[in-house]
Structure formats: C-alpha cells, structure tokens
Amino acid sequence: MSRHTKQTHRPELPAPRKPLSIMTPDEQRAWIAATRSALVRKMQRERAYLDRRAARGTSTPTDQAYEADQVLEADLLALLDELARAVGEVAP
C-alpha cells in the first residue's frame, strides 16, 4: 500500500544576515530592498486574511494580534526607508 503525503511549498530560508556594520553599501541596499519587499508581501497577506475574516464577522484574539502587528510592521517599513536614505538610496 502506498502512502501519500501532502507536500507543501516551503520557500527556501534566506542565509543569515551579516551585521550591517560589515556589509558594503551595495549589500546594505540589497538587504534593505529585499527585506522591505518581503515585509510588504507579509503585510498584504495578513491584511487580506483579516479583511476576509472581518467580512464573515469573525474576530479572535489572534485577529486582534495581527491588527496590532500591522501597526508594528508599518513602523518597521518606515525604519527600513530611513535606513535606505542613510545608505544613499531613495526610499520608495
């Protein structure tokens, strides 16, 4: 009897980040851009999830935590924009 297992797509984990202090300016800019892009996608997924749940009238403590996370994530995006400006890149 064969056994079937559900395979899920798991993105490859990024390599550990080097400390910013030893990155070249180009490495810093690339890290900032990649991190910002990933954070925006994460926020969009969470927002879509929260909007679907709100449309169904569903709200749990986890939903409330995700709402609070959205505020934190927006602040982190602003910080990444500041970092981008500090290393000479115009933030989006």
Confidence of residue 88 (pLDDT cuts 50, 70, 90): confident
Instruction: Determine the Cα–Cα distance for residues 3 and 42; give it in Å rounded to an integer.
Output: 34
The mean pLDDT of the chain is 87
pLDDT of residue 61 exceeding 90, the answer is yes
Confidence of residue 5 (pLDDT cuts 50, 70, 90): low
pLDDT of residue 17 exceeding 90, the answer is no
Handedness of CA 45, 31, 8, 66 (dihedral sign): negative
CB 90 within 8 A of CB 36: no
- Please give the DSSP secondary-structure letter assigned to residue 87: T
Instruction: Determine the Cα–Cα distance for residues 11 and 42; give it in Å rounded to an integer.
Output: 14
